[in-house]
A = this chain, B = another copy of it.
Amino acid sequence: MNNSTVHEKHTMSKFLKLAHKFNSFYLNGFQKKECRAFIVDGIQVGLVRATVTIELSRYPNVFIINPNSVTLNPAFRDYDERSANIESVLKDMKDKKLFITLKGWRDECYEVRTMFADQPLLKMDRSATCLFGICNYGVDINGYVNHPQKGLCIWLQQRSFTKQTWPGKWDNMVAGGLSVGYNIIETAHKEGEEEASLTADLMKNLHSAGTVSFFYESERGLFPDTEFVFDLELPPEFVPCNQDNEVEKFELLTACETINRILSPDFKTTSCPVIIDFLIRHGVINPENEPRFPELVELLHVPLQSLYTKYDNVRTENGLSKGE
């Protein structure tokens, strides 16, 4: 009996359906083993699809392709050398217009490592990490209001229609990727100011509330993602104001309206975990209205930090060694 059969024995709630959607690779893709492990310095840091492997095989000085792995040439001995060699390949592939995701080249890099606490092995433009299944890290701020009449209300943003990814979709009030050079708190403050004009005074209420982890797959690539989640209670009279032209508009929604919004096709799929986690922590989604509550919570925290190391274990048990 495979995993999806087991899950489908029960009626899936609307939230669980969403959790399956933003975990499409974790629940369905991962088991197929159609991807090759991406190995850097003897450690798996990602996964590469067959379509990407074909293109990487055109750079034999950079990548060593084997039946189960794509290995970055071990001759590149340090962070800078690895980063520079990958960048030249990616820029070449970008110029050849091979992958839609590279159209969104950002000149903004993410660190590449297996676990968050690892020393980064290289950096890579954020538009390219999905080609290698590199875990992305980001920061999200749930801006909320305890409204005297409407109760718990949540600020959402509509993304600008000119954005490369998810244009015009509804999204969390403030969210941003953890780029090279910024730590978590710096990213929260930077994005809070740029996206919603959150002043230092308002940000005094900011508090860390955990993480969500999920593994999404789309036609663009593979998206293992961990978001550092912050809650920020805002005064009822505050209205966010965008500064970086990446936001179309903001709207303050009641908890009920927020649920309808995340369930609509107008919401960015990969931003749903943060909102669902917020609604769970604040008691809106609870075991009385969600029969598969433990499953939903687990699907907001899938084990990304050990996924590639475990994957290695399975492969090794099956007689495939890492470097082959």
Set of chain B residues within 8 Å of A1, measured between Cβ atoms: 43, 309, 312, 322
- Residues from chain B with a CB closer than 8 A to the CB of A226 are 294
Contact B297 A211 (CB under 8 A): yes
Partner of A288 from B3, B184, B280, B288 at Cβ < 8 Å: B184
Q: Could you write out 6 A-B pairs with CB less than 8 Å apart?
A: A185-B288, A207-B282, A213-B294, A213-B298, A281-B281, A303-B303
Q: A116 contacts B292, CB within 8 Å?
A: yes
Contacts of A31 in B (CB 8 A): 313
The reply to whether A295 and B287 contact each other, CB–CB distance below 8 Å, is no
Chain copies in complex: 2
Q: B294 and A305: CB pair below 8 A?
A: yes
Interface of A is mostly: mixed
A314 within 8 A of partner (CB): yes
Tell yes or no: A114 within 8 A of B by CB: yes
Query: Contacts A228-B287, A301-B301: A295 and B116 contacting too (C-beta < 8 A)?
Result: yes
Q: Does A134 contact B (CB under 8 A)?
A: no
In the complex the two chains form, is B3's CB within 8 Å of A309's CB? Answer: yes
Please name the residue on chain B nearest to A114 by beta carbon.
Answer: B6
Q: A208-B287, A283-B208 are in contact. Are A228 and B305 (CB under 8 A)?
A: no
A117 within 8 Å of B by Cβ? yes
Decide yes or no whether A300 CB sits under 8 A from chain B: yes
Chain B, residue nearest A289 (CB): B208
Quick one: closest B residue to A312, CB to CB?
B1
Is the CB of A105 closer than 8 A to any CB of chain B? Answer: no
